[in-house]
Chain A
Amino acid sequence: MLRQGGVLGRRRGRRDRVDDTHAGGRMSEDAKRAVRSQFGRQASWYTVSRVHRQSSGLAELLRLASPAPTDRVLDVATGTGFTALALAPRCREVVGVDLTPGMVSEAHALREARGVTNLRFCLGDAEALPFRDGSFDIVTCRHASHHFPYLPLALAEMTRVVRPGGRVLLDDTCAPEDPGLAALMNEWERRRDPSHVADHPPSLLIHMLERAGLRVADTALTSVPLEFGDWTRRSGVPEAEAAALRESFVRASPDAAAAFGIRVGEGDIHFSWDEIVILGIKP
């Protein structure tokens, strides 16, 4: 659990930075093309990724979402439908929405293979969701928000389509509160995946949910264990860049090594990102 005092204490400084970073507003067409191209290529990789399978963040998301058998759920940026498929047996209906046709096709195929009948998909943009106001009891968004160029707009849309009293679950990797370490994590992520926009510290994410009009009712922090080789292969990093990036992990400062749990082994480099699940309730 996060202490609210720490969150409130950081509020003013963070707000200025968010607004500056995202001056210009909507996701540019170029940025969206970059996301589609990256994820079209990665779609089949993502369904077999160990990280997405083992992360306990999903268990936390399911616990905080606490779906009822009567609930209708929206999974934003559903990708290959991993979260949506986990939610489907627990509620009445799940809709998965994603920007990338390749991802949705993969999700559709998985649904057919598993004989799931209460899960539907459509193509849509997190920043301009194609749903009527208050249509869902629960809205989830997992491992995706770091790709959104203007997260506040996506959060405003998620808040719009959930009913009053409904729950919004934001679940993503998050950066350390220390600005230098946060910048380093984001630099590494961008070198690994050019469509990466930003991992934010927990305090900023919580602040953004509050600005979207949600009451933050609970949070859970987990850890995503990563192996450098798998992490770079999954996003198709060219060999030379992977080698340079590896060097930068090996030479990380003691502070960074401690923050990210970096362990350089014989075979591979092990490290971890923090993952946060935030429950926001629409008043």
Chain B
Amino acid sequence: MIDKELLEILACPACKAPVVQQDDRIVCTACGRRYPIRDGIPVMLIEEAETPGGGTGR
């Protein structure tokens, strides 16, 4: 579980919209990109994200 205080200030690096945690992913509330969490650390890199339509990246 990602710390609540960190989650509140995290944003999607692509569109800067707020994000929420869904299981082991951090999900952008606007563009829907899904960022992984590895060893408890959010991986907020655009090229590591799954896009809503499938596939990864930009």
Contact = CB atoms under 8 A, between A and B. Distances in A.
B42 A122 contact: yes
A108 interface: yes
Nearest to B18: A132
A81 B43 CA distance: 17
Contacts of B47: 29
A95 B13 CA distance: 15
A236 B20 CA distance: 41
B39 A120 contact: no
Interface in B2-52: 3, 5-6, 9-14, 16, 18, 35, 38-39, 41-48
A221 interface: no
B46 A128 contact: yes
A122 B45 CA distance: 10
B45 A124 contact: yes
Given A95-B9, A132-B10, A132-B11, A104 B41 contact: yes
Interface residues of B, number: 22
Interface string A129-141: 1111101100000
A150 interface: no
Nearest to A99: B45
B48 to A, nearest CB: 8
A123 B9 contact: no
A72 B3 CA distance: 15
Contacts of A122: 6, 10, 41-44
Chain B contact surface mostly: mixed
B41 A130 contact: no
A108 B40 CA distance: 10
A171 interface: no
A105 interface: yes
A123 B45 CA distance: 7
B5 A130 contact: no
Given A122-B6, A125-B46, A130 B39 contact: no
Nearest to A121: B41
B33 to A, nearest CB: 11
B41 A131 contact: no
A17 to B, nearest CB: 29
A100 B32 CA distance: 24
Nearest to B10: A130
A130 B16 CA distance: 7
Interface in A128-158: 128-133, 135-136
By Cβ-Cβ distance, the 6 closest A-B pairs, closest first, are A130-B44, A135-B9, A128-B13, A130-B13, A122-B42, A132-B11
Interface of B: 3, 5-6, 9-14, 16, 18, 35, 38-39, 41-48
Given A97-B44, A120-B6, 12 more contacts: A104-B41, A105-B39, A122-B6, A122-B41, A123-B44, A124-B13, A125-B45, A130-B13, A131-B9, A132-B9, A132-B16, A133-B16
15 contacts: A72-B9, A95-B6, A101-B41, A104-B41, A108-B39, A120-B3, A120-B5, A121-B41, A122-B6, A122-B41, A122-B42, A123-B45, A124-B13, A130-B12, A136-B9
